[in-house]
Structure 1
Amino acid sequence: MQARVEPEVPRTNLWRRAQALVLAQLRQGATPHRLALSVAIASALALFPVLGTTTVLCLALGSALKLNHPLMQFVNYLLSGLQLLALVPLLKAGEWLGAPHLSLSLPELQARFSEAPWASLREFGVIALGGIGAWAVAAPLWALLVYALLRPLLERGANRRATDG
C-alpha cells in the first residue's frame, strides 16, 4: 500500500508566524474549539464596515467571551485588506436594505462635503448603518463557515501534536 503524500503548503513568513502562534496556544492548553471560535469571530469582526473599529470590537467581544486575544488580533490585522475590499459591497448591500445610494465619484463626494458637510456626514452615517445591517446579516454565516472549516483542521493538528510527542 502506498503512503499518502500530503501536499506541500507554502511556508511563507506569515504562514510560519500563524502556525507558531496556534501551536504555542495549543501547547499552553487552548482547545481547538476555542481557537477555531477565536478565529471565526475575529474574521467576522475584521470585516465590520466601519474603518478603525475592528481592534476594539475584537478586544471587547474577545474579553466578553474569554477568547484568545493574540490570535484574534492577528486575524484582525491579517484581514484588514479584505475589510477594504468588502467595504463597498457591504455599503451597496446596505442600499438594498434601504440606505441611500452612495456615489463613489470622488469629485461628487468632495462637492457634497464642501457644500453641506453636516448633512453629508448624516447621510454617510445612514449609509454606514446600511452597511452595518448587511454585515450583521452576513457575519454570523461567515463565522459559522470559518468555524466549521477550521475546527476539524485544528483538532487534527492537536491530535498529530499529541501523537508526535
Structure 2
Amino acid sequence: MSGPAPTPVTQQSWWRRRVLAPLMAQLRQGTSPKMIAVTVAAGCVLSLFPILGSTTILCGIVAAAFGLNQPLIQTVNYLLYPAQIALLFPLYRAGEWLFQQPPVPLFSLTELTARFWNSPGQFFIDYGLVAVYGIVAWALIALPTFALLVVLLHAPIRTLAARMRRAEPASAVHE
C-alpha cells in the first residue's frame, strides 16, 4: 500500500528568495519604496568600507541613527561581502595614489612578515596609514555612489510595489 505522492517542492531562484522576497516583505509591512531604496543604497555603500570586520557595526549604527530597516541593511551588507574583499586592495591603492605615497606590499606574505619582524612599530604605522588612505578613497566615492543608487533603485522598487498593489489590492503597500 502506497501513500500519497509527495508534493513537488517549488524551487525559487536565489534572486527571488534572497533579494526579491525580502523587498516584497518590507513593502507588505508598509515600508515605502523610497525608504527601501535608501536602506539598500546605504547597505551597499557601507558594506564596501575598506576595513574587514567593521561593516556590521557600521551598518547597525547608521540604520539606528537614520531609522533604516536593520534586517534589510544587514542582508545587503552580508550579500556584498565578496565585493568588499574584491575592492579592498583597489581602495588602498587609490588612497596611496591620492596621497602620493609609494605602495606598500599587500600580497607577499614573506615581505609582510619580514617588514613586521624588521620593525613592528613601522609596520603598524605603514599599514595603518594604508587603511586610512583606503578609508579616504572610499569616503570620496561613498556619497555620490549612495545618491546614484537611491535614484537607480527607487523606480524599480516603486514598480514592484505597484505590481504588488495590483495583485493584492488589500495589501498595505505605500508609496
Give me the TM-score of the superposition, normalised by structure 1: 0.89
1:22-79 Cα distance to aligned partner (Å, 9 max, x none): 1111111100000000000110000000000000000000100000111100000000
Overall identity of the aligned pairs, in %: 43
- Highest relative contact order (Cα 8 Å, sep 6+), 1 or 2? 2
For 2:59, the aligned partner's letter is C
Cα distance in 2 for partners of 1:28, 1:16 equals 17
| Residue 148 (1) aligns with residue 126 (2) | no
Paired residues of 1:42 and 1:75 also in contact (CA < 8 A): yes
Question: What residue in structure 2 maps to residue 138 of structure 1?
Answer: 141
Cα distance in 1 for partners of 2:62, 2:92 equals 23
Name the SS of the counterpart of 1:139 in structure 2. Answer: helix
1:81-139 Cα distance to aligned partner (Å, 9 max, x none): 00000000000000112155221322111100122222211211111100000000011
Question: What residue in structure 2 maps to residue 25 of structure 1?
Answer: 26
Of residues 161, 164, 170 in structure 2, which corresponds to 1:161?
A: 164
Paired residues of 1:100 and 1:123 also in contact (CA < 8 A): no
1:107-122 to 2 correspondence within 5 Å? 107-122=110-125
Question: What residue in structure 2 maps to residue 8 of structure 1?
Answer: none
Paired residues of 1:100 and 1:126 also in contact (CA < 8 A): no
Paired residues of 2:104 and 2:126 also in contact (CA < 8 A): no
Look at both structures and tell me which one has the larger radius of gyration over its CA atoms.
Answer: 2
Measured on the aligned residues, the alpha-carbon RMSD in Å equals: 1.3
CA gap of 1:57–1:100, structure 2 versus 1, over 3 A, is farther
| Residue 91 (1) aligns with residue 123 (2) | no
Q: Gapped runs of 5+ residues in structure 2?
A: 1-11, 169-175
1:5-154 to 2 correspondence within 5 Å? 12-98=13-99, 99-104=101-106, 105-154=108-157
Q: Gapped runs of 5+ residues in structure 1?
A: 1-10
Measure how far apart 1:15 and its partner are. Answer: 3.4
- Greater shift, 75-84 or 109-118, is seen at 109-118
Paired residues of 1:100 and 1:127 also in contact (CA < 8 A): no
Cα distance in 2 for partners of 1:45, 1:62 equals 11
Measure how far apart 1:16 and its partner are. Answer: 1.4
Give me the TM-score of the superposition, normalised by structure 2: 0.84
